[in-house]
Amino acid sequence: MSGSPRVSIIVPAYNEGEEIAAFLARVASTVTMDFELLVVVDTPEDTTIPVVERAAAADDRIRIVINSYGRGPAQAIRYGFDVAVAPTVVVTMADGSDDPRQIDELADLVERGVVVAAGSRYMAGGQQIGGPRIKRTLSRLAGTSLHLFAGIGTRDATNSFKAYNADFVRTVTIQSRDGFEIGLELTAKARRARLPVAELPTIWLDRTAGASNFQLRKWIPKYLRWYFFAFGRPLAVEDIADAARGTKGNN
């Protein structure tokens, strides 16, 4: 890879095996910005590794990264942010549910000045195809209510498919340790800091192979923490992490 990438693409993965090969090929063929693609796994035994290594041998923009922060998608995404080198970071899933053609558009919004750019399933032109009904319902309800009542800047705050200003993320930090709630956490923090959030419509497709690692019952309380955090009073960006930790006023 020549020069510094404009965007770091973080992909948490867990035993994807050969299924990730098609995703890697789509990213390599559709993203036009200079990028690095970081596939983050939890252990050296993960079946994703040999497939990514094979792709990396042919394309030096792709590399496998073994997370040392602990197991689970939140830890993998945290680790990915800490090793990413680009000023803009996009988080997307390895299962093909997100549209990699939109990575350029999301990253471009961040380069234009927003701190979070969300792929939105729930705005005009967006769509969600498949997935558990209860998960779809709760996600839409959270996104709609946060948009209407908290002014959060997107109708789809819970979607993981987002681009971020890396400096913003390093300032507010990532405090989630489980699940995929990081997308909601960072969007809620942007709202508390009154920093700009933007969205563009996306079509999300449920994975056609393998099994999802989303654990609804376990992770709902963690989502609720960040849902309610979004409604608090404005804070200076440097105070956000302390407020979320409870060491400064939260309301």
Going by their DSSP bridges, the two strands 127-129 and 62-66 should be labelled as: unpaired
Residue 249 placed within a domain: no
Give dist(CA 198, CA 118) in Å, integer: 6
Domain that holds residue 196: 7-244
Who has greater pLDDT, 249 or 34?
34
In a domain? residue 251: no
In a domain, 150, yes or no: yes
pLDDT at residue 195 is higher than 60 = yes
Q: Read off the DSSP letter of residue 135.
A: H
Q: Are 144 and 151 in contact (CB under 8 A)?
A: no
Structural domain includes residue 68: yes
Percent share of the chain, pLDDT over 90: 84
Do the beta carbons of residue 21 and residue 51 sit within 8 Å? yes
Check pLDDT > 60 for residue 210.
Answer: no
Encode pLDDT of 36-52 as tens digits.
999 999 999 999 999 99
State phi, psi for 31 to the nearest 5 degrees.
-80, 125
For the ranges 46-50, 71-75, 168-172, the lowest mean pLDDT is seen at 71-75
pLDDT at 211: 54
- Identify which has the larger pLDDT, 215 or 130: 130
Asked whether the beta carbons of 58 and 83 are under 8 A apart, the reply is: no
Single-letter code of the amino acid located at 34: D
Q: What pLDDT, in 10s, does the model give residues 78-94? A: 999 999 999 999 999 99
Does the residue 78 lie in any domain?
Answer: yes
**Strand duo 127-129 + 162-165: pairing:** unpaired
* Structural element, H or E, at residue 55: helix 48-58
Q: Considering only CA atoms, which of 19, 20, 64 is closest in space to residue 42?
A: 64
Distances in Å between the Cα of 97 and the Cα atoms of 41, 127, 194, 214, 215 are: 18, 12, 30, 13, 17
Structural domains of the chain, count: 1
Q: Enumerate residues 6+ apart whose C-beta is below 8 A from 166.
A: 8, 81, 84, 86, 87, 88, 89
> Comparing C-alpha atoms, which of 36, 72, 68, 31 is closest to residue 52?
36
Residue 250 located in a structural domain = no
- Of the candidates 47, 42, 48, 91, the one whose C-alpha atom is nearest the C-alpha of residue 68 is 42
**pLDDT for residue 240 is more than 70:** yes
* Helix, strand or coil, per DSSP, at residue 56: helix
- For residue 160, the domain's CATH number is 3.90.550.10
Residue 209 pLDDT > 60? no
List, in order, residues 6 or more apart from 57 with CB less than 8 Å away. none
Q: State the pLDDT confidence band at 206, using cuts at 50, 70 and 90.
A: confident
